[in-house]
Structure 1
Amino acid sequence: MTEYIKRLQERRAAVWEQAKALLDTAEGEKRELSAEEEQTYQRLNTDLDAIDARAKDLADAEQRAADADAAFSKLLARPAEPTAHRADDPSEQLRSWLTGKSGSRAFEVRPGADTPRDMRALSKLTPGAGGNTVPISFYNQLVQHMIETSGVLQAGPTVLRTASGEQMQIPKTTAHSASAGIVAEAGTLAPNEPTFGQVPLDAYKYGFLLQTSHELVNDTGVDLAGYLSMQAGRALGNGFGAHLVTGTGTNQPNGVLTAATLGVTGATTAAAGAFTADELIDLSYSIISPYRSSTSCGWLMRDATVAKVRKLKDQQGQYLWQPSIQVGAPDTLLGKPLHTDPNMPAVALGAKSVLFGDFSTYFVRQVETIRFERSDDFAFNTDLITYRAILRGDGDQVDTTGAIKYFAGNAA
């Protein structure tokens, strides 16, 4: 399957070359794309996205197969253990609870002792990053699906996990120290201090209900843990992730887009708030070098915006967007990783359609336990088991000196 994924990657590169050829032809003839060419270009962009989705699905399937092979090899290599010894197995504990054998109503999903405390350190997102060597637990599957759903979590924020949900006060930087000056001998040193404030991080509750049949739960051929972790991760990621982008900060997280500062405003001559290659370059250099050099520095926009970015060239005729050469790794824009999030605004007049900066300066707080509860009585008349998943978390920008900035479409 690895070879097939490689062929998909090669096909992706070939499709991009076709798209570039269309754009180059139109540019060489100093004209816009014709209606037919625009239709072809949009089809090629759709093909790129479809290949991405297919390659990712295959990579995930290969990862699951590798995990299963490793698990069976481990079991076959050792004598069978008494059933009583399996009580400490997290998978057995989860299945026992899912089927109602444990007698407990609630199941708390916690990271293991070796689980990274910061999501940016997770190395299981791609097989090449070490995923083939680490078994996937229910917790890490759930977190992975949350990250896949939320572009902000993909971009590398600083993630704080706490055992309880009381409000946290995080120091924030509002202004840096000014430059030092020459001081005469025995002269007085002038005060030159940075300005700090505080960012309160709360624990807003996100939750949903999920129902499954008794037949599904009791079918040992079904990857129930994988199914539940996928559904829970996506649901929690969609709800929490939306507020991590556009949350108002009032009775919900303060979204990264809400907290970002203006970097570049589009020219009044641009149509419908569109950006140019020069404006994206200006946006990248509106961020000072220490932030721009950070490994967590990157771009955030919605998928439809990426299609527009793919058309842009710099003054040397080089495309700003470059496709990734590794499955699972993000594409790049001006050499920085490009992440997408459906909650980012579309390109429009006055819209903040593009974010750029050091996303590690955005803090995401999560209360450590993701709580699952089961009810056999809620849907008794339909013979369904009802599960309830709850996550508590918050998010806010702790460096308001311009670490993350946005492009705003012109207001004319």
Structure 2
Amino acid sequence: MSNRKHLLVAALAAAMTGSYGAVPRGIVAVRADTGDVKALIDGVNRAFDAFKAEHTKQLEAVKAGLPASDITAKVEKIGLDLDAFQKALDEHSVKMAALEMGGAGGKSLRDAEYTDAFKAHVKKGDINAALNKGADEQGGYLTPIEWDRTITNKLVLISPMRQLCQVQSVSKAGFSKLFNLGGTASGWVGETDARPQTNTGTFAPLAFGSGEIYANPAATQGILDDSEIDLETWLAGEVQREFAKQEGLAFVSGDGTKKPTGILTYVTGGANAAVHPFGAIETVNSGAAADITSDGIIDLIYDLPSAFTGNARFTMNRNTQRSVRKLKDGQGNYLWQPSYVAGQPATLAGYPVTEVPDMPDVAANATPILFGDFQQSYLIIDRIGVRVLRDPYTAKPYVLFYTTKRVGGGLLNPEPMRAMKISVDA
């Protein structure tokens, strides 16, 4: 069995280097030029089958009190062969992914010429005026479309609120939405009765302001000149981490001054409880002093109108999750159910749970849990894309990359959302 694995590994090595040579009978050569991974997968499967068979023999020998050193050595050797196949398969997958993402021989960038200009700008500050899509006369530089999209995508992955809420791009400094307050009246009449004028519905506006978020990472000119790193990836990583941290906090509890207005400020008793034309986000009592109860969770769920429960979910921080994971129903069943499927969230009383680190901890008079349809409740506004200003003068020998993004947010509709308020007294 071990010799067979050696043959498989040898065939794999020859295939990966392109020197196919004589391939043992029964072994399919991997064609590196076409990315055929069938032989790699077959090799992994065969090695794993051999591993399971020899491991079973090893366990049986141990139970029977027989010498198992030879079998153990064979199992370890097969394990090494299996690792070699899996490593080769993983490396092949990474290479294929890189090609798909625009590496050598892969798909071209949507704005390749402009991206090349951006790379030159990052290193030396050189720029072709004909390619400038920003305000070059002011020293500004609008980043390439692909780079801008990269940061935005990372923000969506990292910032839970961007995943949950409605996001809208706008082209103006402000954004205002009209809300129908109702009031339209009607009446029953006979065939010849008069039809007097009835009341007409009214509207009320709500403005969503935006603030500017910035990051200012630095690198020496020497690194920019000599390093072989992917400058776009490096800068995008620096920016997305800082932006995601600041945005996440503002979307939850921002005061609206030079930043988004956080959703918690619209909860009954909050700073903006009276701002929205439809009123405040209603609260539900937790049912215990400085604690959360199972009954409080059930009350929270059923206080939300059934029209909004289809896409409803819980949000809370990790400390709060630790508390609610211990809650049980009257039959002793845990309300919390972990997920055993990749990409699927855990559930609380049957509804998904999303961890939002910036939510408050459980404490008297705090609001640690939100439950509802976030898509219908909160609106995130992106004013423009990401801008980069290269500054080689302020902090010599460092080059600063002053990166900005204008973003806002506010309550779209309080009705699809409920908040749990922790009791002060039992």
TM-score, normalized by length of structure 2? 0.63
Matches within 5 A, 1:192-341: 196-219=203-226, 221-260=228-267, 261-267=281-287, 270-271=288-289, 273-294=290-311, 297-341=312-356
Q: What secondary structure does 2:394 align onto?
A: strand
The CA deviation at 1:325 is 3.3
Instruction: Return the letter of the residue paired with 1:68.
Output: A
Shift of the 100–352 alpha-carbon distance from structure 1 to 2, 3 Å rule, reads same
CA drift of 1:99 comes to 0.7
Q: Is the 8 A contact 1:322 1:332 kept in 2?
A: yes
Between Structure 1 and Structure 2, how many residues are aligned? Answer: 310
Structure 1 residue 181 displacement after superposition: 9.3
Match of 2:419 among 406, 409, 412: 406
What CA distance in whole angstroms lies between the structure 1 residues aligned with 2:358 and 2:122?
Answer: 33
Q: Which has the larger radius of gyration?
A: 2
The residue correspondences of 1:83-122 to structure 2 (distance < 5 A) are 88-89=112-113, 91-103=115-127, 105-109=139-143
**CA–CA distance in structure 1, aligned partners of residues 110 and 263 of structure 2:** 44
**TM-aligned CA distance change 1:248 to 1:102, over 3 Å:** same
Distance in 1 (CA, whole Å) between partners of 2:167 and 2:304 is 22
In the alignment, the residues of structure 2 paired with residue 194 and residue 314 of structure 1 have an alpha-carbon distance, to the nearest angstrom, of: 45
C-alpha distance in structure 2 between counterparts of 1:90 and 1:317, whole Å? 62
Q: CA deviation at 1:189?
A: 9.7
Give deviations 1:90-148, integer Å, cap 9, x for gaps. Answer: 543332221125337533236x5xxxxxxxxxxxxxxxxxxxxxxxx433331233234
Change (3 A) 1:328 1:193: farther
- Separation of aligned partners in 2, 1:190 and 1:313: 57
Give 1:344 shift. Answer: 0.9
Change (3 A) 1:379 1:252: closer
Structure 2: unaligned runs, 5 residues or longer: 1-40, 42-90, 128-135, 268-280
Structure 1: unaligned runs, 5 residues or longer: 4-60, 113-136
1:392 to 406, 412, 420: 406
Deviates more, 1:61-70 or 1:309-318: 61-70
TM-score (norm 1): 0.65
Distance 1:223 1:247, change over 3 A: same
d(CA) in 2 for partners of 1:191, 1:263: 35
Q: Do the aligned partners of 1:211 and 1:386 also contact (CA within 8 Å) in 2?
A: yes
Deviation at 1:163, TM superposition (A): 2.7
The aligned amino acid for 2:283 is G
**Residue of structure 1 in register with 2:163 after alignment:** 154
1:350–1:410 CA contact under 8 A, matched in 2: yes
Tell whether 2:379 aligns with 1:363.
Answer: yes
CA distance in structure 2 between the aligned counterparts of 1:265 and 1:62, rounded to whole angstroms = 55
Question: In structure 1, the residue corresponding to 2:364 is in which secondary structure?
Answer: coil
- How much identity, in percent, do the aligned residues show? 23
Identify if the C-alpha distance between structure 1 residues 407 and 219 changes in structure 2 by more than 3 Å, giving closer, same or farther.
Answer: farther
The structure with higher relative contact order (CA 8 Å, sep 6+) is 1
Cα RMSD between the aligned structures?
3.5
